[in-house]
Structure 1
Amino acid sequence: MRKIPCVLMRGGTSKGAFILAKDLPENIEERNEILLSIMGAGHELEIDGIGGGSPQTSKVAIISPSSHPDADVDYLFAQVMVQQRQVDTTPNCGNMLCAVGPFAIEQGLIPATDPVTQVRIRNVNTNTLVDAEVQTPDGIVTYDGDTTIDGVPGHAAPVALTFLNACGAKTGHLLPTGNITDMFQGVETTCIDMAMPMVLIAASSLGKTGQETPQQLDKDKAFLQRLERIRLAAGLAIGLGDVSEKVIPKPVLLAEACHGGTLSTRYFMPHHCHKALAVTGSIGIATATTLAGSVAAKIINQDKTVRFLRQIVIEHPSGKIEVNLFNDGDKPETIRASVVRTARKLLSGNVYIPECETK
């Protein structure tokens, strides 16, 4: 058996393996085979690996000292499919991102300062920079605190994330089709690329209320097929080509808020409904609410483009997430976004895989 040093961590509402890049092969095909074996991909329960049988718990963060002059560490996110033996490194994951700072500090990649350590992270998937504020009293990472986030039981230390240049993360454009709205399969959409490429759709246009549970949506096969047709058309329109084997763009249903928030969302990953909401998804959705004429702005009756500090509260199946938007410039492309999440170290040691699966 081959052993690889590994830390299992919860980041926000996701969970996955954190591994130093130096402990994995540089060859991408060899590396991906190891990740598939680590997580147990190819089985609905991932019974022969440490994956949890869900897209939210079948994730890997690969960390190294940064080669970027303005960053401390590099973070490569890998989404390991559950039932398919496939690894996708095209998207970012903002939930896993919030555990990168604590991991990097404890691995000695960056010195800790008292009481807070700021870690600048470069997401290699999208070549974007994020500042993470990690609680380090007496120079030691603490996971204990009073901060709570919906979708996670209990409370923990806050990790503040500020996305510095998330606009056009994968396509180079905030509105990658050049339009505020586009029609796909007869349905009005807004394609936006802010931290994560997404295609935003009013739930009502697909015969949904936007308040359905993830389980209800996942059981509606006809709806999922229609949603996928829209996603595939959007992928072509925003320049990503055939996205049938990619997890981006993410399709998102939007609806009016029911619990005091700004609006309600159901976020897909892309073929299963998220039980909460991706951090990167929340940033794109929040930004879309500021753009007059977008699907999101129409739902909240926002008829002018907003360019000032604003807090957006997004409802999701497990509760809410707050996104603070800042704009130092005069264009939507200069928007910066911040969120507060929590992380927890669950297990550290070695993960074992059969030697034959790494050859």
Structure 2
Amino acid sequence: MKKIVIAGGTGFLGQALATHFESKGWKVIVLTRSENQTLEAGQTVFWDGKETGPWVEELEGASALVNLSGKSVNCRYHARNRREIRDSRIQPTRTLANAISNVAKPPAVWLNAASATIYRHSLETPMTEATGELGHGFSVDVCQAWENAFFQEHLPQTRKIALRTSMVLGHAKNSVYPILARLARCGMGGKLSHGTQMVSWIHQTDFNRAVEYVIEDHDIEGTVNLTAPAPVTNSVFMSTLRESLGVPFGLPHYKPMLEVAAWLLRTETELTLKSRYVVPEKLLQHRFLFRYPFLDEALRALSGNRSDAESSIRNHYSLP
């Protein structure tokens, strides 16, 4: 039986992956700081993300390790939160690197979470793994330090992949789709600010499938943009969301309103106003087939208007 170890696997993406791999017959180990936690999928093993301990035994002979550890960025970026956002990503990454270097049979591949926000604000130029330009500011600095911590340790028996993931659309409580859908149904699903900022996204199903794909394709390594191949503007995103839900109108949200709302909700406008024009060049070059390449299909599936089975037959996207 193949085994996958997921560090920080109790959240939306971790449980999505755990459920996916269990359905494929894999043994799934979830490393978590919460002792005796009951999850929908995966067997929990305690770790603190800082020190090695009995949990290191789970890495021995594992087919894959996925590290999703990190404090949510959905918060105000004051000094304490900035420190916690950075440390909660870099420290577990270094701890895992140390653990891998000290096991006899290390994981064959290590996938470390990263973020598509590492690229600069771009309205017109798509950012690929090969030609993408890095941005500036706190979030980008964290992303760069995170990837540096991941790649700096030489682990010759373990293939490394940094997953530069975009917004993942799924139904879990702590994911973004239910929030956006609720706003749209309340008539608040209009464009955010000018609406021209690009939105890179990926359906949860394709997120799971792409992670499995890069694990199995031994030629894929380095950075991978984990996003659908057809990003859209925020204005198109919101109008497509309304259409999928049968909502005819949505009030727009202008920047001063967003600043006030962000302050009240204890978050930052960067999460919605930065233009992320990111495309998955490496996945396409390696012939990965997206089940949901286009936003209208992905949102209709999430709204319940189209089944996974129907979409899996009709919708694929790859390079010629």
Instruction: Say yes or no: TM over 0.5.
Output: no
- Superposition TM-score, scaled by structure 1 size: 0.24
- Superposition TM-score, scaled by structure 2 size: 0.26
Which structure is richer in relative contact order (CA contacts within 8 A, separation 6 or more)?
1
Normalized per residue, the structure richer in strand is 1
